[in-house]
Amino acid sequence: MTRMADIRRGGETGLTIIEVVVASLVLALAALATFGVLAAATKNAQRAKASQVAQDLAQEEIERLRAVPFNQLALSSAPETSESALNPGSRVEGETFAVRRDPVGEYAPLAIDNEFGFSPKSEFLSGEANSGGVSGTVYRYVVWRNDDSCPEAECPGEQDYKQVIVAVQPKPGAGQQTERGYVEVQAKRIDPDEVSEPAPSEGGEEGEGEGGPGNEGNPVTAQQFFLSDTSCDEGGETARAEIESDHLLHNTLGTCASGPQTGSTVGAPDTLLLAGPPDPDPLDEFNPALFDYSNDFYLEPTPDTDKGVQIRRDDTSGCHYDPTGTANPESQVHRWVSDPVPHAFQMSGAVTLEFYTRTLNDALYTGSLCVFLYDRVESEGGETAEDTFLTDEANGNPYWVYEPEGNGFWPRNSWTKVRLTMEFQEAPHVIPAGQRLGVALGVDPANTPADAIPVMYDHPNYPSRLEVDTTTPIEGG
């Protein structure tokens, strides 16, 4: 009797076949839902990554094309057309291209040169450097534009300047059947040989005084200045020095006549070059290597995160062009100047600093980077210099501050590209011929609990640069 009762009790507390089936079905449905969410999240992450890679590749290609001489800035043949609105070829009509994407319009004639032009299309593969595991197509378009604001007497004809459009379309990822859309960037280029000098201010001459508003008829383009690790040359034509190893911090607190110095000896600033750092092996992302531009004993010796230059925070809260520290003040600000500009250089009102950075040791902390823009006039012989600072349009300070948006934490775990757009007062500002454009970086300790902020530049994968809106570009590259 006892065994029969136990059996009955066991049957009463167990699961029936129907209950097991229902439970299994519920688990299966839950698993399907979970897997569906994970699959959707994975696809979204892949699409976001592909879009970011496409944006970066488009920006890199537009920068590369900026170095192409103006008279060679053209396509080798007419680009292909497409019936798909997701393909930029849908904006091609014969030998014209629609500059405006949405709604499609502003058709302009394509610049085509069978001898010197470059290919309108190329493919990139997932295994290539900077591709981020994404493959796709790069489309290039160059069109002639007419500047309606420039009188016919000053800008005859309808070929006043060129506009470059780069579109990048990633291929569909795994499990994606539909064609991907594309991202694009545009840039304007004018012939530097056709640019007239800005008029000098009343009572002034070229190379002296403030300079006037300049040639208002010329369209605005962007002049690139790349941050380098080469000390500026006193003679005014600086050639980039190949970086071969880690080295002590350049003391940049002097003038170009000071020559390259380290430690407490006042030395020449580093140079803003017109061409980006060359890539000796585009297929090898580890060539060239990353080097430490400030491996002094008192700076953080962390092999992975102390590459480039480490800018130590100032001793006093706020932004200081002249560092206030008593110990190694040369490490609290880093300065770059251009070679003397060959003609009056008009800055139209906006400058963008694009740089690569990350935290020391990949630690979690906030940060404030101070950015100074100035033009420098040197004394005869170059032993002394006077710097005139541009003023932030928003708050009237002679500097700008970059702080990360959101939670304010500085980028970490990888070298991250950051952009700071700076608009200044009393635009346009003209740098007279023979003077230099300068930029300086410092660190405000009020919002930077770490010892320093690293900045990477002068590397083909990390081309930190200034982009200056101007109507008087300088030929370079």
What CATH code would you report for 220-470? 2.60.120
CA distance linking residue 185 with residue 262, whole number of Å: 40
- Does the reported pTM lie above 0.75? no
> What averages of pLDDT result for each successive group of 10 residues across the chain (477 residues)?
47 70 81 64 58 81 83 93 93 94 91 91 73 82 85 80 91 70 84 57 34 48 91 92 94 97 97 89 80 89 77 96 95 97 93 94 95 96 94 95 92 92 93 97 96 94 92 74
CA distance linking residue 421 with residue 443, whole number of Å: 18
pLDDT tens, position by position, 26-73: 888 877 776 665 555 555 556 566 777 788 888 888 888 877 888 889
Residue type (1 letter), 299? L
Residue type (1 letter), 462? Y
CA distance linking residue 145 with residue 253, whole number of Å: 44
CA distance linking residue 90 with residue 77, whole number of Å: 17
- What pLDDT sits at residue 471? 85
238's tokens = 């600086």
| 107: β partners | 98
- Domains in the chain: boundaries: 51-189, 220-470
Neighbours of 162 (CB within 10 A): 20
Report the candidate in 140, 192, 142 with the shortest Cα–Cα distance to residue 162: 142
